[in-house]
Amino acid sequence: MQLRSNRVHGGTRIFLAFTALVLVFVWWLIQNWDDFNTRADGFAALLTFVFLIGAIIAKVIEYWIRGTRRGLGYLRRWRPSWSSVAS
């Protein structure tokens, strides 16, 4: 069996470099910020919910742009799940 190597999309390299920069920045914060272990957990929790809400809003906008009514039904069907996350 011969393995094929596909070309990597340019965006993949950009996001890989961005991830590396974030990891280096976090390592630097751990080394130089004395309250990192106590305060970073709150920042991470806040960012998690910000990105979660952003993903939900992006999906709703995507359905509205497409003009499909499936988006609203999809959200209504999963209302118990996302409302429990929101509360």
Q: Is 56 helix (H, G, I), strand (E, B) or coil?
A: helix
Residues of the chain with pLDDT under 70: 1-10, 67-87
Q: What is the model's pLDDT at position 69?
A: 58
Q: What is the model's pLDDT at position 38?
A: 82
Q: What is the model's pLDDT at position 73?
A: 60
Q: What is the model's pLDDT at position 28?
A: 92
Q: Full-prediction pTM beyond 0.75?
A: no
Q: For residue 27, give the H/E element and its range.
A: helix 10-32
Q: List the helix and strand counts (H, then E) for the chain.
A: 4, 0
